[in-house]
Chain A
Amino acid sequence: MRQLLTFIRKEFKHVFRDKKTLLMLFGMPTAQIILFGFALTNEIKNTSLGIMDLSKDEVTRQIIRKIDESKYFEVKMYLENERGIEQAFKRDQIRAAVVFPANFAQELRHSNKSQIQIIADASDPNAATSITNYLTNIINEYQLQQKSALVAPMQIIPEVRMLYNPELKGAPNFVPGVIALVLMLVCTMMSSVSIVKEKELGTMEILLVSPFKPIYIIISKLMPFLIISIFNLMIILLLSVTLLDLEIKGNIILLLIASILFIVTSLSIGLLISTTAKTQQNAMMISLMGMMLPTMLLTGFMFPIENMPLILRILSNIVPSRWFFIIIKNVMLKGLGIESIWKELLILTFMCFSLLTLSIRKFKIRLQE
């Protein structure tokens, strides 16, 4: 036991004395969460808007104020004519324009109908779609408020509710994905490199020629990364809650247990890589190239798996992060309990044990030839 503790302490020293490793361990998750959370989202924030109000009545003013008040839009300029709109678009001053025709309120009062024109810069079609959707939503909302105030003829208005992410925030989609991706990559790479490093340095020769059992070598090699990964997970969760306004709806203990299971699985993959890799570079390449793409593609957070060709859908089943992604989404975003994820947990447990057994059995008690 004392041996094991000393060994683990030694492993921690390696990690903390290597600035590059340290930067990667703690920098990568933070950078990724911020990157994915902010930069790579397709959500709309503070979009510059131009208004052409030919009516200038009470209703248009109210709608404009409502648009301006929302955090998605910012009314940048008031325009007088079509040419002004075109120029503003060309000068990149606005990304969308709202046009109110003359006598807007009057029309509305008389015929209960009125038209608003929304012009969006569709050079980025996704953003344009979102912008028009958001604008339509805001206008509809205003309409609803007015309707409830008046006694109006019955009208059926379809209500579209976005489940779990009603505001269509980008972060909820990305955070579970980033957690799965970061944990998978960091754990796999770190564990594979750290064991190959001993081989490369020649210290493995001495360790093998010692009473210290190989299984303890493995445990002490993996332990620091397990603890660091849990710490990393905490940082990611903390960042998600504070920075990305995400709330953890489910049981955090359940989330942690599932995460530890996933971390150990990833570490075992790294262990498996280390049994075949000959140099640190080699190990790094295998774990980065071999893991990055399948994890990104087949986890389901970037591209929905249901839309993939059959062969990829089958292949995605062996990617641990795919199952972990489901778990984390269900627990964190939907607030569901163990009854909704027991299947995924079971699959992960199975993967974890078979990978661990395989890599321990493949761990070479002698030098490679």
Chain B
Amino acid sequence: MITVQHLIKTYNKGTVKAVNDISFEVKDGELFGLIGPDGAGKSSIFRMLTTLLLPDSGIATVNGYDIVNDFQNIRNHIGYMPGRFSLYQDLTIEENLEFFATVFNTSIEENYDLIKDIYVQIEPFKDRRTGKLSGGMKQKLALCCALIHKPDVLFLDEPTTGVDVVSRREFWDMLKKLKNQGLTILVSTPYMDEAGLCDRIALLQNGQILSIDTPAHIVASFGDILYSLSSPKMYKLLVTMRAYDNMNSCFAFGDSLHLTLKDNSKKDELYSYLKKSDFGEIEINQIMPTIEDCFIKLLKEN
């Protein structure tokens, strides 16, 4: 279990507020996600909870141990995968894994079942030096190394950054499995589409939490009707829509526009507004909002 109360962390003598009065709680066996763009303060939170940084103020505990005073106890019971790739480039896959297993007082054989699903994928390359691996393989190895000692709490700082889509999905499948084995997992990601895979998430921006809830609740709290617009002339469409009186919010979202209206009863007006210009074939659908929609909306409200 992780509890965080009013945690504050500043850099450069207080001029940069990386983490600004953050409180949240991660229950036992929960897969909790910190979602936010780069610079939102995710890594700082991770480093404080893994006892690598001291907070300016505030209290936090991991499994009941205080992050400042009981740091040694915490270090004995957690697994941590830093955001930057941190394995020895000049050692092979097997040597890295063996090293971290030994440092954490265990062996590959002892906890092989824990990492088996991931490790079988990189095992064919076990004699290759880590520096020569692809991003996805490095990430899998790093996860193996973080898992090998069967930690109670797992801290994964942006584990899927720089990893291909297939590997990312596999990675999250593995996290689900680990969670089902009873591990408490705190994970951070800048990818909004991964947020829905967590039990609960905290949306972060500029060192502050915008919202904490289950992904479903966050989506449900969007509280607006969301339309998706697409046409062959996307840029023109965006410019036109931004000039529309009844537009509440409008932004490009992949290959479509996401749009909310100030007055939803005037929806028919939208069609006539669009017909004035030639956009080719326009598609308008009412859609379910995603976490990213909610995040952007929360950003606007703040």
Q: Does B32 contact A (CB under 8 A)?
A: no
List the interface of chain B (C-beta within 8 A of A).
Answer: 11, 47, 50-54, 71, 75-76, 78, 80, 82, 84-91, 95, 98-100, 102-105, 145-146
Partner of A206, one of B51, B71, B86: B86
Known: A7-B103, A206-B145, A211-B75. A17 touches B90 (CB 8 A): yes
Known: A10-B95, A208-B75, A211-B75. A202 touches B86 (CB 8 A): yes
Known: A6-B98, A13-B90, A18-B90. A205 touches B82 (CB 8 A): yes
Q: In the assembled complex, how far is the CB of residue B269 from the closest CB belonging to chain A, in whole angstroms?
A: 55
Contacts of B84 in A (CB 8 A): 202
Contacts of A207 in B (CB 8 A): 103
Total number of residue pairs linking A and B with CB closer than 8 Å: 76
Beta-carbon nearest neighbor of B145 in chain A:
A206
Assess the A205–B99 pair: CB atoms within 8 A.
no
> What 10 pairs across the A-B complex have the smallest Cβ distances?
A202-B86, A6-B102, A202-B84, A209-B80, A367-B52, A211-B76, A17-B90, A205-B82, A203-B86, A212-B103
Q: In the assembled complex, how far is the CB of residue A212 from the closest CB belonging to chain B, in whole angstroms?
A: 5
Partner of B78, one of A205, A209, A365: A209
Assess the B75–A14 pair: CB atoms within 8 A.
no
Question: B-facing mask of A353-369, CB < 8 A → 1, else 0?
Answer: 00000000000011101
Contacts of A10 in B (CB 8 A): 88, 91, 95, 99
Complex Cα distance A18/B105, Å? Answer: 27
Beta-carbon nearest neighbor of B75 in chain A:
A209
Question: B-facing mask of A164-183, CB < 8 A → 1, else 0?
Answer: 00000000000000000000
Q: In the assembled complex, how far is the CB of residue A211 from the closest CB belonging to chain B, in whole angstroms?
A: 5
Partner of B103, one of A3, A14, A366: A3
Assess the A369–B53 pair: CB atoms within 8 A.
yes
Assess the B102–A2 pair: CB atoms within 8 A.
yes
A-B pairs with beta carbons under 8 Å apart, 19 shown:
A6-B98, A6-B102, A10-B88, A13-B91, A17-B90, A202-B84, A203-B86, A205-B82, A208-B51, A209-B50, A209-B75, A209-B80, A210-B75, A211-B105, A212-B103, A366-B52, A366-B54, A367-B52, A369-B53
Q: Does A201 contact B (CB under 8 A)?
A: yes
Complex Cα distance A212/B72, Å? Answer: 10
Contacts of B75 in A (CB 8 A): 208-211
Partner of A366, one of B53, B100, B146: B53
Known: A14-B90, A209-B75. 12 other contacts (CB 8 A): A6-B98, A201-B89, A205-B47, A206-B86, A209-B80, A210-B75, A211-B76, A211-B103, A212-B104, A365-B71, A366-B51, A369-B53
Known: A6-B98, A10-B99, A366-B54. A210 touches B88 (CB 8 A): no
Complex Cα distance A208/B50, Å? Answer: 9
Beta-carbon nearest neighbor of B72 in chain A:
A211
Select the residue from A201, A202, A366, A369 with max chain B CB neighbours within 10 A. A366
Complex Cα distance A13/B96, Å? Answer: 11
Complex Cα distance A203/B99, Å? Answer: 12
Select the residue from B52, B82, B105 with max chain A CB neighbours within 10 A. B52
Q: In the assembled complex, how far is the CB of residue B7 from the closest CB belonging to chain A, in whole angstroms?
A: 16
Complex Cα distance A365/B54, Å? Answer: 11
